[in-house]
Structure 1
Amino acid sequence: MQNVKHIFGIFADYLGQYFKTRLAYRADFLGDFVSNLISELINLVFIIVVFTHVPLMKEWTRDEIIFIYGFFLVPYALFSMFFGFWDFNERYIIRGEMDRILTRPIHNLAQVCLESIAPDRIFGVITGLIIMGYAAFQLDLTFYWYDLFIFIGLVISGALIYGGVYTAIAAVSFFSDSRTGIAPMIYNIQQYGRYPVDVYNKAIRFVLTYVLPFAFVGIYPAAYFLRKEVWYTYAALTPVVAVIFFGIGLLVWNWGVTKYRGAGS
């Protein structure tokens, strides 16, 4: 427990110093925010254009799809802040920086996350909330005081699901020094989680629920706020799925570290 508190303390100190540095150059900080906002809004415009021709998607309205998309962005942004595994294979395995990581006292996964932390991804959270707010206004949704706590819990759970899946994928690099990995393919699959699973066939629905549970970072938790009672059970299971898959990711990572033999000379 003391070690966990120490790690979180380091994360907090790092974030504090990062934002002090970025806010010293406010124009650059604002530019990043605007560029990220525009990028996500382009995707939003794509959804709106599609629904001008297709008013319903298996009984899901345009604004409901937009709400799901906005929710989908929030846990993904949190995950992207703390789990920067995009260049893990190249940087830590091929270049041998994992050797340096393993000589330090803090858990190696926490060190990798600290070195690749990207606090500017918080802009994705803001964008997602704006999109959700727009859709909620259009749908005239009603929220209760406890929905804020449920929202926070579901968002953190979604981020942990992402973390578990991509930690396990990154750990594959311990068994192979190939420059290519499966992360790009998984990234493409995760995009399916921003749409209702009942528009897909049974095979895809099974994968998105039980194998790569990206439905639990998009449609299932968002369905609770959309008052889609048929999906309430899945929404309630989101924290359970998060614990299971993050635990699996950590186990695979620790196993991979024991198989790591160093970069050599």
Structure 2
Amino acid sequence: MFYVSMFFQYMGQYMKTRLEYRADAVVEIGSDLLFQAVNLIFIVVVFGHTQFLGGWSQDEIIFIYGFFLVPYALFSAFFNIWDFNDRYIVKGEMDRILTRPIHSLFQVVLERMELEALFGIITGLIIMFYAGGHLDLQLHWYDIFVFIVMVIGGMLIYAGIFISLASIGFWSDARTDIMPMVYNIGNYGRYPVNIYNGIIRFILTWILPFAFVGVYPSAYFLGRHEWFGFAFLTPLMGIIFFMFAIWFWNKGVRKYRGAGN
């Protein structure tokens, strides 16, 4: 309950801060929507030259993209740790974090939250309903619970990967460009993995499992039975990668010696 209370206190302070600069929040939301629109246009342009891509129709790939936006929005809102190495290690703010009686990762996550990213959930759902309507998808009453579990699993995969990357900073206080590179790799998870060669497919499934954020869980709702085994692995993969990230973070914190060392 203490951590729940702290979460809502941090959230309250964040909302006060953002409301002081409403125009900035609106511009940021607008830029996110524009970015998502560009990705949709890219999909439409690709299908202007072909009816199917790796056996997937345009509406199916649009559905996958819409699903991907939901766990990605949750990740972006609550695990915005892109600048962890630069801000907390190089500039020494980790010393401040470690003086407080709250888990260090919990503090960093809450300090860097960006709640306006949650609008991506609305965008993703709209895209999914649009594509689902064209595909005439038939859903069951329990699919809402499956959807929630799949979304949480996808979010945990993203969080686990990038928390692990941030934890490398505890051993190296130099600025690195690993996160942008991995972020770009994550974009491949928005599309069916069977359009890639075997090596890329293996990486997106088992090494950097971004396919579990988009195409695999979406396959369940699209009725792609050949992918159901991977779809139901989504929450398990999320738990494994997130638990590893926490372990790796805690190990890094124990190695950390302060900004002045």
Q: TM-score, normalized by length of structure 2?
A: 0.94
Residue in 2 aligned with 1:120? 116
Residue in 1 aligned with 2:139? 143
Residues 99 and 16 from structure 1, CA distance in 2 versus in 1: closer, same or farther, beyond 3 angstroms?
A: closer
Where 2:202 maps in the other structure, the secondary structure is helix
| CA apart distance, 1:145 | 1.3
Structure 2 unaligned runs (5+)?
none
Correspondence list, 1:16-55, <5 A: 16-19=12-15, 22=18, 30-55=26-51
Residue in 2 aligned with 1:209? 205
Where 2:233 maps in the other structure, the secondary structure is helix
Residue in 1 aligned with 2:258? 262
Q: 1:223 aligns with which of 216, 219, 224?
A: 219
Q: 2:60 aligns with which of 33, 55, 64?
A: 64
Q: 1:84 and 1:12 mapped to 2: Cα distance? A: 17
What residue identity is the alignment partner of 1:122?
A: L
Residue in 1 aligned with 2:88? 92
Q: Which moved more, 1:114-123 or 1:25-34?
A: 25-34
- Aligned partners of 2:220 and 2:227 also within 8 Å: yes
What residue identity is the alignment partner of 2:186?
A: Q
Q: 1:63 and 1:126 mapped to 2: Cα distance? A: 18
Q: 1:182 aligns with which of 159, 174, 178?
A: 178
Q: 2:158 aligns with which of 156, 162, 165?
A: 162
Residues matched between the structures, number:
261
Give the share of equivalent positions with the same residue, in percent.
58
- Aligned partners of 2:10 and 2:111 also within 8 Å: no
Deviations 1:68-119 (A, max 9, x none): 0111111011011111111111100000000111111000000000110110
Where 2:47 maps in the other structure, the secondary structure is helix
Residues 145 and 27 from structure 1, CA distance in 2 versus in 1: closer, same or farther, beyond 3 angstroms?
A: farther
Aligned-residue RMSD, C-alpha: 1.7
| CA apart distance, 1:23 | 5.8
Where 1:69 maps in the other structure, the secondary structure is helix
What residue identity is the alignment partner of 2:220?
A: Y
Q: Which moved more, 1:91-100 or 1:33-42?
A: 33-42
Residues 180 and 12 from structure 1, CA distance in 2 versus in 1: closer, same or farther, beyond 3 angstroms?
A: same
Structure 1 unaligned runs (5+)?
none
Residues 112 and 20 from structure 1, CA distance in 2 versus in 1: closer, same or farther, beyond 3 angstroms?
A: closer
Where 1:144 maps in the other structure, the secondary structure is coil
